[in-house]
């Protein structure tokens, strides 16, 4: 069930006229200038004037380009992890640290995003985030030092972390009546980016004779993603400079999801789901290599998980938005993951295609929880607060996944113990899912 929404946004300092020009209409794009203006939202600002149709289209295109980048830097590294380990002489512990970095960076930098949004427009923040992502990817391919490689990866992941938190906010701002559809669109695009990167990384590396080429191509994609946000950022800045002081609404009390049961349930579900997802991204190709598959085929199987998830990622948020209670979805997705884990422990080679299909179904918990962030908040401030809390705390939980899987794999020399750990995390995920399945709003609990 889609909750009541506000159409205020967070591009600080827009004038009252600007607010009237950018009210989100029923089709999810800014409405004409004669639409009634809403009161300033909890963040104390309104969107910069971007035009009724063209502006909404520019925002959507910008969101989809950003989404293409949100996993490419991670899955491309997962597919080339063996080559990177050999090229940089990474130990098993350092390799585990590399696969843990996404979760740690998302936790740390995601928590800072609400503060950035209070000071700057989302468009400006996204321009900087994509520039940082591109710079970090260039740093890590230009070094022979393991520590510099890790630092470059952390820099790139900082840009992704900020974008992770901002996208649910932008959906709530500009497309309040199409939360499920637009969330599905960018979730699907995210999945496409992850799949293409995983599938192309090894062939590109082999074509150029170095693993660095397999990681380098995605820096250009990050630079392309910042382009739509440059004019939006400039317009937001101009609107802020031209707005009278009275146009900036005073701040209201901040919503703190950490003081609510819903906020913690969302964080635990997000965290345990991401724990499994990043363990799969980082280690699934290695599992299939150990089962006897060639490196290229193992990379394709990893890509298959994300590729099969593309149509599911499009449909899942819409389905979640239409259901009053999410219990059937939570249980179905958990069952698919459990069957995949057990299958990979028992028959990793012979049943590989079936396990890939089940993993793709189970990991659609990610687009579901992204949509649920918007569905469990009434306001834009509630959305960004819940998004930041769920993702920052969630990724702290998720950081355990790749690291412990790597430690258990190195200690035991097999996959039984790592998969047992993932099954235990899945049980916790299911319990948290039962809590968030009931319709409720973070503002009510806060």
Spatial separation of the C-alpha atoms in residues 251 and 253, rounded to whole Å: 7
Spatial separation of the C-alpha atoms in residues 247 and 355, rounded to whole Å: 55
Q: Is residue 368 part of a domain?
A: yes
Q: How far is CA 111 from the centre of its chain?
A: 14
Q: Is residue 9 part of a domain?
A: no
Arithmetic mean of pLDDT, 184-212 = 88
Secondary structure of residue 275 in the 3-state scheme: helix
Arithmetic mean of pLDDT, 182-197 = 86
**pLDDT for res 62:** 92
**pLDDT for res 343:** 96
Spatial separation of the C-alpha atoms in residues 405 and 174, rounded to whole Å: 40
**Whole-structure pTM value:** 0.72
Arithmetic mean of pLDDT, 15-43 = 35
The answer to whether 190 and 70 have CB atoms below 8 angstroms apart is: yes
Cβ neighbours of residue 351 under 8 Å, at least 6 residues apart?
A: 343, 344
Under the banding of pLDDT at 50, 70 and 90, the label for residue 436 is: very high
Q: Is residue 39 part of a domain?
A: no
Could you tell me the CA-to-CA distances from 72 to 219, 302, 402 in Å, in that order?
10, 13, 17
Under the banding of pLDDT at 50, 70 and 90, the label for residue 195 is: confident
Nearest to 391 by CA among 286, 216, 248, 273: 273
**pLDDT for res 225:** 92
Q: Is the pLDDT of residue 37 over 80?
A: no
Q: Is residue 43 part of a domain?
A: no
Q: Is the pLDDT of residue 38 over 50?
A: no
Q: Is residue 15 part of a domain?
A: no
The answer to whether 398 and 346 have CB atoms below 8 angstroms apart is: no
**pLDDT for res 24:** 37
Q: Is residue 295 part of a domain?
A: yes
In whole numbers, what is the pLDDT of the chain averaged over residues?
81
Per the structure block, which two tokens stand in for 309? 């998830």
Q: Is residue 28 part of a domain?
A: no
Q: Is residue 13 part of a domain?
A: no
The answer to whether 47 and 173 have CB atoms below 8 angstroms apart is: yes
What count of other Cβ atoms lies within 10 Å of the Cβ of residue 441? 18
Q: Is the pLDDT of residue 244 over 70?
A: no
Beta bridge partners, 24, equal 30
pLDDT (tens digit per residue) in 310-341: 788 788 888 888 888 899 999 999 999 999 99
Under the banding of pLDDT at 50, 70 and 90, the label for residue 55 is: low
Report the range of poorest mean pLDDT among 8-22, 312-326, 386-400: 8-22
The tally of domains found in the chain comes to 1
Q: What percent of the chain has pLDDT over 70?
A: 84
The burial class, CB within 10 Å (0-12 / 13-18 / 19+), for 402 is buried
Nearest to 5 by CA among 166, 254, 167, 172: 172
Domain span at residue 311? Answer: 51-241+254-445
Residue 310, domain CATH: 1.20.1250.20
Nearest to 126 by CA among 52, 57, 222: 222
Q: What's the distance, Cα to Cα, between the start and end of the chain in Å?
A: 20
Under the banding of pLDDT at 50, 70 and 90, the label for residue 291 is: very high
**pLDDT for res 237:** 75
């Amino acid at each position: 069930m889609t909750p009541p929404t506000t159409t205020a946004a967070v591009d600080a300092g827009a004038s009252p006229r600007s607010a009237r020009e950018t009210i989100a209409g029923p089709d999810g794009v800014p409405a004409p200038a004669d639409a009634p203006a809403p009161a300033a939202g909890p963040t104390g600002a309104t969107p910069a004037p971007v035009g009724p149709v063209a502006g909404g289209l520019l925002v959507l295109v910008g969101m989809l380009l950003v989404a293409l980048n949100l996993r490419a830097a991670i899955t491309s590294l997962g597919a080339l992890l063996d080559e990177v380990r050999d090229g940089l002489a990474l130990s098993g512990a350092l390799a585990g640290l590399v696969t843990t970095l996404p979760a740690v960076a998302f936790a740390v930098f995601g928590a800072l995003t609400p503060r950035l949004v209070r000071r700057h427009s989302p468009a400006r923040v996204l321009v900087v985030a994509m520039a940082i992502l591109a710079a970090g990817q260039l740093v890590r391919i230009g070094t022979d030092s393991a520590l510099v490689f890790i630092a470059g990866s952390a820099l790139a992941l900082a840009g992704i972390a900020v974008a992770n938190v901002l996208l649910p906010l932008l959906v709530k701002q500009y497309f309040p009546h199409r939360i499920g559809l637009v969330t599905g669109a960018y979730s699907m695009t995210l999945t496409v980016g992850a799949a293409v990167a995983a599938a192309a990384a090894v062939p590109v590396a082999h074509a150029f004779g170095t693993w660095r080429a397999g990681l380098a191509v995605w820096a250009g994609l990050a630079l392309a993603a910042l382009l739509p946000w440059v004019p939006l950022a400039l317009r937001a800045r101009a609107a802020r400079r031209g707005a009278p002081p009275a146009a900036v609404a005073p701040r209201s009390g901040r919503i703190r999801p950490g003081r609510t049961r819903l906020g913690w349930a969302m964080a635990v579900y997000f965290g345990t789901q991401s724990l499994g997802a990043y363990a799969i991204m980082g280690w699934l190709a290695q599992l299939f290599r150990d089962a006897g598959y060639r490196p290229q085929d193992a990379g394709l199987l990893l890509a298959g998980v994300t590729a099969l998830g593309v149509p599911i990622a499009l449909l899942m948020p819409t389905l979640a938005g239409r259901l009053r209670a999410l219990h059937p979805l939570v249980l179905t997705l958990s069952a698919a993951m459990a069957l995949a884990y057990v299958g990979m422990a028992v028959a990793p080679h012979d049943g590989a295609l079936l396990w890939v299909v089940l993993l793709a179904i189970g990991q659609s918990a990610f687009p579901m929880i992204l949509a649920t962030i918007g569905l469990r908040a009434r306001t834009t401030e509630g959305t960004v607060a819940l998004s930041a809390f769920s993702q920052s705390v969630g990724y702290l939980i998720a950081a355990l996944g790749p690291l412990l899987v790597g430690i258990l794999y190195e200690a035991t020399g097999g996959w039984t113990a790592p998969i047992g750990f993932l099954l235990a995390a899945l049980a916790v995920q299911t319990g948290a899912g039962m809590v968030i399945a009931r319709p409720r709003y973070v503002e009510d609990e806060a």
